[in-house]
Amino acid sequence: MPEITLRDALKRAIKEALESDPSVFMMGEDIGEYGGAYAVTDGLLKKFGPDRIKDTPISEQAFVGAGIGAAVAGLRPIVEFMSISFSLVAFDQIVNMAANLRYMSGGQISVPMVIRAPTGAGVQLGATHSQSFETWLAEVPGMKVVCPSNPYDALGLMRSAIKDNNPVFVAEPALLYGEKGEIPDDDYEIEIGKADVTREGSDITLVSYGYGMRPTNEAADKLTERGVSVEVIDLRSLSPFDIDSIVSSVQKTNRVVLIDNARRNGGVMAEVAADLQQCASEWLDGPVMRVGSVDVPWPYSRSLEQEVLMDADDVLVAVAEGYGL
Amino acid sequence: MISEVTMPSMGADMTEGMIAKWLMAEGDAVSRGDKLAEIETDKTVVEMEAYSEGLLRKIVVSEGILVEVGTVIAFIGDADDEVPEVAETAPAAEASKEETAPQPATAQPALTPTPVQQTAPTSAPTPVASAAAGGRVKASPIARKIAEEKGIDIAAVSGTGPGGRITKSDVEKFTPSPAFAASGGRAPAVMDGSDTPLSSMRQAIARVTVKSKTKSPHYYVTHEVNMRPAMTFRAQLNEAIADDGDRVSVNDMVLKAITTALLRYPKWNSTFDGDKLIGHSDINLGVAIALEEGLIVPAVIGIQNMSLIEISRAVRDVGKRARGEGGSLTQAEMTQGTFGSSNLGMFGTDTFAAIIVPPNAGIIAVGTVKEVPVIENGQIVPGKTMNATISADHRVGDGAEAAILMGEFQKTLENPARLML
């Protein structure tokens, strides 16, 4: 199977949709002439023209609102934020409008829209460009939220997101755009709301998603070297999230560490932890451990930023503190 | 406003009590419900709660002194309240002279209230003790679940998890040590000739049993019960109720049979009191439970109103709480038993006699159900029998009366349909 990057996997899904469905179009800042801040849309303007690849002014609230209007009118817009931090100015449109319209109209209106944004810290983009608001959006009813950690999932999830008749937010880990992986040459899709057991084991379950999967896998490798049999689950969808898969795994391993690359407080893993407590408490052989980045504004300084970001060592510490492994 | 704190009555027959330990010091702020002190009675150590608020202004009775119920032991009030002058409380009556000379607090062993706390055995293998003094047993939920399924007392397991937590693998690897199985008789790990200070519970057991054996003239009547019908009945019953999560034990049937016998001969459900027998309107049947620190005999209150399955549930509940799971025992359960039962069947004991728990009139002790050859219609056939021995207080009733009670008990078990009455 050919190897491609996560960036190209996303582009492939978008390109397929543009080719096969004339109602699909894109809007965003610098997505056309410039090819996108992270080059996901590079070359699409040339191929599909300015009617379908629309560069917008710096006006997030306006172009998300325009996307919602287009979706309500029957098109299938894909809207890109240059950074998930910039989604804040459009939250009224995203939360109040996109997520609520189907309910408020008694099902008469649907909003088949994809909102895409790079997310996460780690490359010295400073406090206002390094955040991970997918964890906020995962709390909003009516909004589906996915966050791939590899090219295979990125392609499968983006295909499903574009076909979904509800608004889907695709949070793309900025540090993983160059991540390579093999992709089969068929038109598979990945169901939104299904987690993936990426590694099977019997001693402990590590759950993460998005960029968090990288330190999680590193920690899993180190634990495996020590003879610990590790099960790793990639959540993939933050809303809805697949608690059943996690409970099944915990019933097997009795130990669990939840790993979130975003800030620890109020993250999606807080919900997972609470649900695990409710659904699997009698299967647990210790506390539900949670790892996240430090709850401070993201520092610009490289050394500080690395300090704030969670890493594989933090995972290993949690495994040791919680379960003595 | 200044308010008096008095020695509480922890049971109808409690006349005096001792402060085992003050849990608050003079000057401490007290809220309603705060644990003020541990009170030791003949039977147990109970935590006493504060019923008023303010500052603990003065401790009148110090630790280790036996006083009568109702004696002022402390004052709670505001900072500017005047504390009344109280004569230093003299240790009460003869009991204290004989048994409990006031001791400096430091000479006391660390006390633990019995119902809610257990400590890991001191002879535990290497790892950290699972329960710090004064803490509950630290065990993971799955470890507790497996222990319950296997019938292992979680407190006897040593924890190897972080902070001494008992984990799944600790329970899976656990084998009960003979010292634990003997229950209460924890031998020192090494025979080095050193003294072993007794816990307050051990000391209380010593006082109560000596009091019982010296004041209540015990005699013993043993009956051999044909248990084959009861065992068949139990198997059928358990199959029928399995879906409800219920399971009736041999002991549940024994308790029901004792209750049935006591209902027929209520004299044995009374208390000897000099020139009269004090009758009890409820049967509160004590169930001897061997905890890590020693024996307790909590009562199933009002057992005469319970069906066999209700008794089964009630005993399981009392047993759990005795081990500190899902709450603690109530004062009534700890102090208001009206008759006793004890069962060493699980240890393979054939026959034994128990010591009456004062102020009860008797206690029935049962051994294991064993397979024996029995003669039926002149033929030797396989049978199942269980020996039951009543220890009876001769002041309450004579041997013939105890034998009649035991006959009723036996008849019920041998005709187990009666258990459903």
Same domain, B229 and B333: yes
Which domain-ending residue is among A182, A216, A231?
A182
CB B299 within 8 A of CB B333: yes
Residue B52's pLDDT is what? 78
Whether residue B127 is contained in a domain is answered as yes
Same domain, B58 and B82: yes
**Cα B160 from chain centroid (whole Å):** 30
Q: Which domain holds residue B34?
A: 3-93
The share of chain B scoring above pLDDT 70, in percent, equals 82
pLDDT(B202) > 50: yes
CB A70 within 8 A of CB A26: no
Residue B409's pLDDT is what? 95
pLDDT-derived band of residue B3, with 50, 70 and 90 as boundaries?
confident
Marked catalytic residue, from A29, A80, A129, A134: A129
Residue B118's pLDDT is what? 32
A324 vs B161: CB contact, 8 Å cut-off? yes
Same domain, A121 and A235: no
Same domain, B368 and B266: yes
In B, minimum Cα distance to A287 occurs at: B140
Same domain, B330 and B352: yes
The alpha-carbon gap from A207 to the nearest alpha carbon of chain B, in Å, equals 20
Whether residue A187 is contained in a domain is answered as no
pLDDT(B183) > 50: no
| Residue with the larger pLDDT of the pair B98 and A230 | A230
Instruction: Say yes or no: B145 contacts chain A, CB-CB below 8 A.
Output: yes
Indicate yes or no: pTM above 0.90.
no
Give the helix/strand (H/E) hosting A54.
strand A53-55
pLDDT(B157) > 90: no
Q: What CATH number is associated with residue B146?
A: 4.10.320.10
Instruction: Say yes or no: B151 contacts chain A, CB-CB below 8 A.
Output: no
**Which residues have C-beta within 8 Å of that of residue B30, sequence separation ≥ 6?**
B24, B36, B50, B52, B53, B54, B55, B56, B76
Q: Where does A73-210 have alpha helices with state H?
A: 91, 101-104, 134-137, 151-163
- The DSSP secondary structure of A299-313, one letter per residue, reads PSSHHHHHHHS--HH
Same domain, B210 and B186: no
- The tokens for A254 are 């009795």
The highest-confidence range among A278-282, B165-169, B395-399, by mean pLDDT, is B395-399
Same domain, A15 and A77: yes
Whether residue A188 is contained in a domain is answered as no
- The DSSP secondary structure of B76-105, one letter per residue, reads EE-TTSPPPP-PPPPPPHHHHHHH-----G
Count CB pairs under 8 A between chains A and B: 35
| Residue with the larger pLDDT of the pair B8 and A23 | A23
Residue B1's pLDDT is what? 76
Number of domains in chain A: 2
Q: Which domain holds residue A287?
A: 196-323
Residue B189's pLDDT is what? 53
CA distances (Å), origin B62, targets B21, B49, B89: 8, 17, 9
Q: What CATH number is associated with residue A152?
A: 3.40.50.970
Whether residue B111 is contained in a domain is answered as no
Same domain, A138 and A223: no
Same domain, A32 and A133: yes
Which of B94-98, B110-114, B246-250, B393-397 has the lowest average pLDDT? Answer: B110-114
Same domain, A147 and A269: no
Average pLDDT, rounded, for chain A: 96
Q: What are the chain B neighbours of A285 within 8 Å (beta carbons)?
A: 140-143, 161, 167-168
> Which candidate from B140, B160, B162 shows the least CB-CB separation from A284?
B140
The catalytic residues of B are 394, 398
What is the average per-residue pLDDT within B6-19?
75
pLDDT-derived band of residue B12, with 50, 70 and 90 as boundaries?
low
Instruction: Say yes or no: B222 contacts chain A, CB-CB below 8 A.
Output: no
CB B318 within 8 A of CB B298: yes
Same domain, A88 and A204: no
Which domain-ending residue is among A125, A157, A182?
A182
- Of A115, A210, A209, A132, the closest CA to residue A166 belongs to A115
Whether residue B233 is contained in a domain is answered as yes
CB B10 within 8 A of CB B331: yes
CA distances (Å), origin B135, targets A119, A170, B28, B112, B131: 45, 48, 22, 10, 6
Nearest 10 degrees: Cα torsion B35, B37, B40, B41: -70
* A29 belongs to the catalytic site: no
Instruction: Say yes or no: B143 contacts chain A, CB-CB below 8 A.
Output: yes
B22: β partners: B37
Instruction: Say yes or no: B173 contacts chain A, CB-CB below 8 A.
Output: no
- The tokens for A310 are 């969670």
* A33 belongs to the catalytic site: no
Marked catalytic residue, from A16, A19, A33, A60: A60
Residue B13's pLDDT is what? 64
pLDDT(B89) > 80: no
Residue B242 DSSP class: G
What one-letter code names the amino acid at B184?
G
Same domain, A61 and A96: yes
What is the average per-residue pLDDT within B252-260?
96
Q: ipTM of the assembly?
A: 0.72
> Which candidate from B144, B145, B167 shows the least CB-CB separation from A286?
B167
Whether residue B271 is contained in a domain is answered as yes
Same domain, A28 and A155: yes
Q: What are the chain B neighbours of A286 within 8 Å (beta carbons)?
A: 140, 161-162, 165, 167
- In terms of phi and psi (left: phi > 0; alpha: psi -120 to 50; beta: otherwise), the region of B51 is alpha
In A, minimum Cα distance to B171 occurs at: A285
> Which candidate from A254, A281, A321 shows the least CB-CB separation from B168?
A254
Same domain, A222 and A148: no
**HSE-up of B145 (CA within 13 Å, CB side)?**
13
Which domain-ending residue is among B160, B195, B230?
B195
Whether residue A15 is contained in a domain is answered as yes
Number of domains in chain B: 3
What is the average per-residue pLDDT within B93-99?
41
The residues in B 330-369 lying below 8 A from A, measured between CB atoms, are none
Q: What is the pLDDT of residues B307-363, one digit of tens each?
A: 999 999 999 999 988 888 877 888 888 889 999 999 999 888 999 999 999 999 999
